[in-house]
Amino acid sequence: PEKERNNSAIIHRRLKDIAERHTLQQSSSLSTLNNDNEEFKAAKILQEMSNAVSKYVTVVTHTYINFNVCFILIFRFMSQPN
């Protein structure tokens, strides 16, 4: 019984150490998660801005190309001899 009591005390101490280490890890990971959250928000905003810019550039480019094609076709038809 004495040996069993010692073993259970050792196991109890180890479990307590593991639990303390776990809570320490959790609190440290929470603080890093908060920092990451701010960085994540900033990165997300930058991503949305770059997406908006690329969409705008795409629309402008396509519009420009379409107008040019239309004008070329119109001038072709107008310059064709009847």
Residue 13 CB coordination number (10 Å): 10
26 and 39 co-located in one domain: no
Mean pLDDT for the stretch of residues 24-31: 71
28 and 43 co-located in one domain: no
Contacts 24+ apart (CB under 8 A), 40-49: none
Q: Which two tokens stand for residue 74?
A: 């119109």
37 and 65 co-located in one domain: yes
21 and 52 co-located in one domain: no
Provide the number of structural domains found in the chain. Answer: 2
21 and 43 co-located in one domain: no
pLDDT of residue 23: 77
Q: Which two tokens stand for residue 54?
A: 């690329």
Instruction: Compute the distance between CA of residue 19 and CA of residue 12 in angstroms, rounded to an integer.
Output: 10
3 and 25 co-located in one domain: yes
Provide the residue range defining the domain that includes 13: 1-32
Please report which confidence band the pLDDT of residue 8 belongs to, taking 50, 70 and 90 as the band edges.
confident
Mean pLDDT for the stretch of residues 35-58: 86
